[in-house]
Structure 1
Amino acid sequence: MALKNVIGIDHAVVVVRDLDQAAENWKRLGFTVSPRGTHSAKMGSGNYTIMLDADYIELLGVLVATDHNAPTRAFLEKRGEGVERIAFTAVDSAAGAEEIRAHGYDAVGPIDFERPVTMPDGSLSAAKFRVFQWPIAEAPAGLRIFACEHKTRETVWIPELMKHANGARRLRQTLVVSPEPAEDAAHLARMIAREARAESDGAVAVPSGSDRADFVFLTRDQLGRRYPEISLKGLPERGGAGLVLETSDLAAVERAVAGSAVRSAGAVCVAPAAANGTLLVFVGA
């Protein structure tokens, strides 16, 4: 039975080495980027967000080394920049944590935290969250997952931040490379109580819930065959590899991204080397 308190992908976390430089980079790719947020001293991190219709992308950087961000620092040291983890939307984090405990997973949390937000009129507010996570060791293909309950959606989904020169509207897929995609997909499917399904090229998809983006597990070679014109240099053999985004206008993507855009398999792609270790695939609505 599907989890009642976890209703699909909320956001993708792209870990970067230089947070401000990464924000400028994604602006050059046609995204509207939020003002910089700073997390608590315990977390020791900061972020920029790229807000879409129902989900978003978070650029996350370590500002000060702390025990809390040790896994993120280890990821950067071992893998480099890229998709480190995926957040699900939690309806109720406390109930969600109990729900995954009933499925045999020792949930971490829920934990409350917040970060200051500068609103479009210049006033200062706060984005407040309650999160819980699956055990760190339970990471299909090395991709960590957690769930996020938004307590102040109005300070996160700000209309002015949701309009992008590249026309990006929503996440369609999270691409995860693995030498054993069926095994890692089955692992995730168990964790979120969903059914994996095989795709025609041997990849395996796992719906995240509701109408939100799917996870697609595939080998690096399979990913290369899907998008043969784009360089995958910098991607790992195992881990979060890319994001497929729906856009209102593929031509707008090409104009916004300019020299970084490559047409491949009917999509407009941006190589990982140009997007902080993340393959970006833009597809039409």
Structure 2
Amino acid sequence: MRRGLDHVVHLVRDLDAAGEIYDLLGFTVGSRNRHPWGTENRIVQTPGFFIELLQIVDPEQVPPDQPRSDGDDFFSFGAFNKRFLERHGEGLSMLVLEGSDPVAEKAAFDAAGFGGFETFDFARTARRADGQEVEVGFSLAFARDPEAPDFGAFTCAQKLPENFWSADMQRHSNQVSAVAGVVLVAEVPSRHQAFLETLSGGQVQRALNEWFVGQTPRGSIDVMTPGLFTERYGVPAPGTGELRLAAVRFHTRGAPELRRSLAARRMVEEAIAGIIVVPPRAALGATLVFELTPA
């Protein structure tokens, strides 16, 4: 089954500062939410997709990974992001695909050699745009690429989607209407083709020797070499050649106005024609790309 993009994790050191940056970029940013494992988040929604701004607020509460010799390992979301921050700093740390059946998804990951983790269910309290507190819940199935141990990926199935998704939170002054895709970088993209096909449930095909593309029901997954990424977007690629999540692409009707606004704040890469690129130096280690919505 083909799976659409669900969300990405943007790991930051200061959640309020990150919220201010996304607000300057014209996004509506949700309030703080607390996890029981030492992290807090704020959510930026588009239809069916969101950015999870994440901060580790209490490292002492982060549970360790638990490798097991007699069964599936326990994957610690908090521990993964804590290590990522120590090794790589702020930036896009995890890619999440839309889930529907975590048991079946885990079985598919295991059969392909990309699994070996327990599924994970949890719930938390969320605050809606009108201030009402509601419960949201999620079921996760984790995947790992043996070629890329620092690349985090899982599927996420919503238990109470009516409590999570909010039309009010999807109205943005930058006129972003949808996610266009995500961009990954790797020194040898072909090494990760099988993993990304298993994760997404669809084909990831060669566009060029240095560039593979997979179309999902919600946005594309592009994986390209760091050099091609820099040539295309005019900004440095993260990492040193290992598989990394480098950029999120958005559709917007307000590209010209957004460019003028961000240029005045020196938050945009002026050298790129036809798109707006907010570089990692302005977006806490992430690259955010805004593209004019197709007619």
TM-score of the pair, normalised by structure 1: 0.87
Is 1:217 the counterpart of 2:223? The answer is yes
Is 1:235 the counterpart of 2:241? The answer is no
What is the RMSD computed on CA atoms of the aligned residues?
2.1
Find the counterpart in structure 2 of residue 22 from structure 1.
18
Shift of 1:53: 1.3
1:17, 1:202 → 2: CA distance? Answer: 33
Could you give the per-residue CA deviations for residues 238-269 of structure 1, whole angstroms, max 9, x where no partner exists?
Answer: 31111111112212322553421234131011
Find the counterpart in structure 1 of residue 70 from structure 2.
none
SS of 1:261 mapped into structure 2: coil
Could you give the per-residue CA deviations for residues 50-99 of structure 1, whole angstroms, max 9, x where no partner exists?
Answer: 00012111111111121232221111111111111111111122332233
Is 1:271 the counterpart of 2:279? The answer is yes
Map of 1:18-57 to 2, 5 A cutoff?
A: 18-40=14-36, 43-57=37-51
Classify 1:95/1:187 alpha carbon distance in 2 versus 1 (closer, same or farther; 3 Å): closer
Structure 1, 112-121 or 193-202: larger mean CA deviation: 193-202
Letter in 2 for 1:197: Q
1:155, 1:116 → 2: CA distance? Answer: 10
2:193, 2:114 → 1: CA distance? Answer: 17
Classify 1:139/1:80 alpha carbon distance in 2 versus 1 (closer, same or farther; 3 Å): farther
1:273, 1:161 → 2: CA distance? Answer: 26
Is 1:187 the counterpart of 2:195? The answer is yes
1:153, 1:252 → 2: CA distance? Answer: 33
Shift of 1:129: 0.9
Gaps of 5+ in 1: none
Could you give the per-residue CA deviations for residues 13-43 of structure 1, whole angstroms, max 9, x where no partner exists?
Answer: 1111111211112111111101111111xx2
Shift of 1:110: 2.2
2:98, 2:195 → 1: CA distance? Answer: 19
SS of 1:273 mapped into structure 2: coil
Shift of 1:140: 4.4
Q: 2:118 aligns with which of 103, 109, 112?
A: 109
Find the counterpart in structure 2 of residue 202 from structure 1.
210
SS of 1:98 mapped into structure 2: helix
| Fraction of identical pairs, as percent | 26
Shift of 1:107: 4.2
TM-score of the pair, normalised by structure 2: 0.85
Shift of 1:141: 7.9
Find the counterpart in structure 2 of residue 9 from structure 1.
5
Find the counterpart in structure 1 of residue 71 from structure 2.
none
1:101, 1:201 → 2: CA distance? Answer: 29
Is 1:175 the counterpart of 2:174? The answer is no
Contact 1:166 1:256 in 2 (8 A): no
Contact 2:25 2:174 in 1 (8 A): yes
SS of 1:101 mapped into structure 2: helix
SS of 1:120 mapped into structure 2: coil
Classify 1:140/1:283 alpha carbon distance in 2 versus 1 (closer, same or farther; 3 Å): farther
Gaps of 5+ in 2: 65-75
Contact 2:129 2:168 in 1 (8 A): yes
Map of 1:66-215 to 2, 5 A cutoff?
A: 66=62, 67=64, 68=76, 69-135=78-144, 138=146, 140=148, 142-200=150-208, 202-207=210-215, 209-210=216-217, 212-215=218-221
